[in-house]
Amino acid sequence: MSFDVARIRQDFPILGSMVRGKPLVFLDSGASAQKPRAVVQAMVRSMEERYANVHRGAYQLSEAATADYEAARAAVARFLNAADPREVIFTGNSTAAINLVAHSWGRGVMRPGQAVLISELEHHANIVPWQMLRDDGRGIELRVCRVTDSGELDMEDLAAKLADGKVGLVSIAHMSNVLGTVVPAERIVAMAHAAGAKVLFDGSQAVVHRKVDMQALGADFYVFTGHKLYGPTGIGVLWARLEHQERMPPFLGGGDMIASVSFERTTWAEPPAKFEAGTPPIVEAVGLHAAIDYVTAIGMPAVEAHERTLVDHAMRRLSDIDGLSLLGAAQDRGGVFAFGLDNAHAHDLATLLDRAGIAVRAGRHCAEPLHARFGVEGGTCRASFGLYTTEAEIDYLAEALTKAREFFS
């Protein structure tokens, strides 16, 4: 379909809501995106007509639910242009996916004396699991690549930290949830592989804004979460090459991840079942499938083109506001803007914007080290766009910020 934002907005019932008597202007999609009617309806239909536990029942309803669950896996594989649906592991969210890699690859495959290399761009979900790995006495080092003043990855520093060949894994945000910076992913993969390191990308933001192709990217692991991609909470994805899954021990033990169990020993199921212990997110997988179908029908290139227009418009409008400071100025960025206003605390500013019906996030956005890097430890406000965001909403935000500047001055 052609990209018609007015028509697309009709698919999202919540966008017709009122906040404090004002039309809702939802600019917090980076935290969690709104859901199109197609996702809601698919999940309701699953619960009303096709619900049963999966992989376990010999009856028709269980077989139908299993088919729906595995169809969702196949849809994710197509969405990522993965070579094999077995490369797709369902998790609870991106955080769970990164923890799975930290446990199963970091503790099960990496060797003492190796290092994990992250960056100053990272969300806490891509910092804390590696700190826990570093601190558990296995001899794994944690290195941090610098970010430039413009908010881009310092590629010279990345090369320097890879140079000794001790880095076993590079784990980097594909797109920053604070600065909107899109990193040069294929170049990072080439540099890391040349130094003997594997690569994980946190794609929680990137898959929402850009077409992502696993075969072209060449990474080893990729994670994202359903609720930012217009799907439900409670489901995330770890894409992992099959040869890596074969080497990784399970993260969680229990039902459905086993081949056989006795009191003497347990043998594991084949990947990806080996990493999906217990009853999985069945209805959530159906919702994620519907969300993927929805954005695929629109077309990710069209979504990206729409967002580039929004980013250019936002840069013009927000840069013209006296006293407003934008965090970062990357050349390649998505629809995420963190900002501060002179004399205004981020939470106070967000509260004032809420009175105008504008929803933005305030705080440090689960990226405290990045805020410290830019000297704004008190936090920022963040406006993040979805495919339903309009230029008129950005204009309304700019007008509200201009009024807020007058209020706080």
Q: Residue 328: which CATH number?
A: 3.90.1150.10
Backbone angles phi, psi at 206, to 5 degrees: -65, -40
Q: Are residues 235 and 358 in the same domain?
A: no
In whole angstroms, how large is the CA radius of gyration of the chain? 22
Q: How far apart are CA 259 and CA 160, in angstroms?
A: 44
310 contacts 333 by C-beta, under 8 angstroms = no
Residue 339: inside a domain, yes or no?
yes
Residue 36: inside a domain, yes or no?
no
What is the number of domains present in the chain?
A: 2
| Residue stretches of the chain with pLDDT short of 50 | 1
Q: What pLDDT is stored for residue 56 in this prediction?
A: 84
Return the bridge partners of 119, or none: 145
Q: Are residues 24 and 107 in the same domain?
A: no
Q: Are residues 291 and 314 in the same domain?
A: no
SS3 content of the chain, % helix, strand, coil (to 5): 45, 20, 35
Q: Are residues 157 and 251 in the same domain?
A: yes
Tokens linked to 406: 């007058």
Return the bridge partners of 201, or none: 172, 222
Residue 258: inside a domain, yes or no?
yes
In 3D space, the residue among 60, 135, 28 whose CA is nearest the CA of residue 357 turns out to be 28
The pLDDT tens digits for 192-240 are 999 999 999 999 999 999 999 999 999 999 999 999 999 999 999 999 9
Q: Are residues 58 and 205 in the same domain?
A: yes
Q: Are residues 204 and 319 in the same domain?
A: no
Q: What pLDDT is stored for residue 15 in this prediction?
A: 97
Q: Are residues 108 and 169 in the same domain?
A: yes
Q: Are residues 282 and 360 in the same domain?
A: no
Residue 241: inside a domain, yes or no?
yes
Return the bridge partners of 221, or none: 200, 240
Backbone angles phi, psi at 183, to 5 degrees: -80, 155
In 3D space, the residue among 17, 19, 328 whose CA is nearest the CA of residue 153 turns out to be 328
384 contacts 332 by C-beta, under 8 angstroms = no
Q: What pLDDT is stored for residue 98 in this prediction?
A: 98
Return the bridge partners of 22, or none: 19
- Neighbour count for residue 141 (Cβ, 10 Å): 16
Q: Is 366 among the residues known to form the active site? A: yes
End of a domain among 278, 296, 314? Answer: 296
Tokens linked to 349: 């500013």
Residue 123: inside a domain, yes or no?
yes
Residue at token pair 């199109």: 36
Q: What pLDDT is stored for residue 57 in this prediction?
A: 86
Residue 107: inside a domain, yes or no?
yes
Kindly state the DSSP code that residue 104 receives in the 8-state scheme.
I
Q: Are residues 276 and 315 in the same domain?
A: no
Q: CA-CA-CA-CA torsion for 313, 314, 316, 318, nearest 10 degrees?
A: 160
Return the bridge partners of 25, or none: 358
Side chain identity at residue 220, one-letter code: D
Side-chain-side CA neighbours of residue 174 (13 Å):
26
By the 10 Å C-beta count (0-12 exposed, 13-18 middle, 19+ buried), 148 is classed as middle
Q: Are residues 221 and 358 in the same domain?
A: no
In 3D space, the residue among 87, 98, 74, 3 whose CA is nearest the CA of residue 297 turns out to be 3
Length of the chain: 409
Kindly state the DSSP code that residue 188 receives in the 8-state scheme.
H
Q: What pLDDT is stored for residue 20 in this prediction?
A: 87
Q: How far apart are CA 217 and CA 205, in angstroms?
A: 16
In 3D space, the residue among 217, 202, 242, 176 whose CA is nearest the CA of residue 380 turns out to be 176
Q: List Cβ neighbours of 399 (8 Å cut-off, separation of 6 or more).
A: none
End of a domain among 296, 314, 334? Answer: 296
CATH for 109? 3.40.640.10
Kindly state the DSSP code that residue 273 receives in the 8-state scheme.
G
Tokens linked to 60: 């028709």
Its pTM stands at 0.97
Residue 250: inside a domain, yes or no?
yes
Tokens linked to 259: 């081949």
Q: Are residues 179 and 273 in the same domain?
A: yes
Q: What pLDDT is stored for residue 3 in this prediction?
A: 87
End of a domain among 244, 273, 296? Answer: 296
Residue 344: inside a domain, yes or no?
yes
Q: What pLDDT is stored for residue 290 in this prediction?
A: 98
Q: List Cβ neighbours of 350 (8 Å cut-off, separation of 6 or more).
A: 360, 361, 362, 381
Q: Are residues 375 and 257 in the same domain?
A: no
Q: What angle do CA 200, 310, 385 make, to 5 degrees?
A: 55
Q: What pLDDT is stored for residue 377 in this prediction?
A: 85
Residue tagged active-site, from 212, 321, 353, 366: 366
105 contacts 199 by C-beta, under 8 angstroms = no
358 contacts 400 by C-beta, under 8 angstroms = yes
Please give the residue range of the domain that contains residue 230: 41-296
